């Protein structure tokens, strides 16, 4: 019995259910365009395209490169440097990743409406779907985790779980880039055959 009491206890999070609810709400609202909700464009094609492209550039740059250097620093440098890297990554997650994870799909959905909607552009539905999936797997949990900052003093906390989710997200990002460049549908062309 004394041995069991000496084992480290996992930290209980009294707000866990609330934050799972926040994640569920974000995922439900962001899935609406996939289910047919039309996002009305608020400006013409070219400004939307510029916003969509630059937001995607910022999103990809931060998501891909800052995670790499942060993981290297957090695992190879002294603890204080790891804490600094985690804090810096937190600032980037809250100021770049979070906002761009909203701007990219909303601007993309508006552009798609200007091109005839998701039914006319199945590749755009696929891109939106894979972006939604990537956000659910990696971006939304990371932004929530960095926003709460419960383990800010432990630079290596959550790195294995976060690393696995980041690898899945990276594969999805490259898939999205391929779909956007080639305009080839992987899923929607089979889900919504032409009438």
Q: CA 76 to CA 159: how far, in whole Å?
A: 13
Calculate the average pLDDT of the chain. 86
Is 116 or 63 the better-scoring residue by pLDDT?
116
Q: CA 59 to CA 53: how far, in whole Å?
A: 10
- No. of H helices and E strands in the chain? 10, 0
In a domain, 145, yes or no: yes
pLDDT tens, residue by residue, 177-195? 999 999 999 999 888 776 5
Q: CA 153 to CA 99: how far, in whole Å?
A: 25
In a domain, 25, yes or no: no
Quote the crossing angle between the two packed helices 67-76 and 159-182, to the nearest 10°.
160
In a domain, 88, yes or no: yes
In a domain, 7, yes or no: no
Identify the H or E element spanning 57.
helix 45-61
Q: Which domain holds residue 131?
A: 41-191
pLDDT tens, residue by residue, 87-113? 888 888 888 888 999 999 999 999 999
Q: CA 154 to CA 67: how far, in whole Å?
A: 16
In a domain, 53, yes or no: yes
| pTM of the full structure | 0.85
How many domains does the chain contain in total? 1
In a domain, 24, yes or no: no
In a domain, 125, yes or no: yes
DSSP state of 117: -
């Amino acid at each position: 019995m004394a041995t069991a009491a000496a084992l480290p206890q996992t930290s209980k999070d009294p707000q866990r259910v609330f934050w799972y609810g926040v994640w569920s709400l974000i995922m439900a609202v962001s899935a609406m365009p996939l289910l047919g909700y039309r996002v009305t464009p608020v400006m013409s094609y070219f400004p939307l395209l510029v916003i969509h492209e630059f937001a995607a550039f910022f999103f990809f740059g931060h998501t891909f490169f800052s995670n790499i250097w942060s993981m290297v620093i957090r695992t190879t440098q002294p603890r204080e440097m790891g804490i600094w890297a985690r804090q810096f990554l937190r600032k980037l997650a809250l100021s770049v990743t979070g906002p761009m994870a909203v701007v990219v799909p909303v601007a993309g959905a508006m552009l798609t409406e200007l091109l005839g909607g998701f039914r006319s552009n199945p590749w755009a539905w696929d891109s939106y779907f894979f972006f939604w999936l990537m956000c659910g797997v990696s971006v939304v949990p990371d932004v929530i985790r960095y926003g709460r900052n419960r383990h800010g003093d432990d630079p290596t906390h959550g790195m294995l779980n976060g690393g696995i989710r980041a690898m899945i997200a990276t594969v999805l990002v490259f898939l999205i880039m391929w779909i956007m460049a080639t305009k080839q549908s992987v899923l929607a062309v089979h889900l919504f055959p032409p009438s």
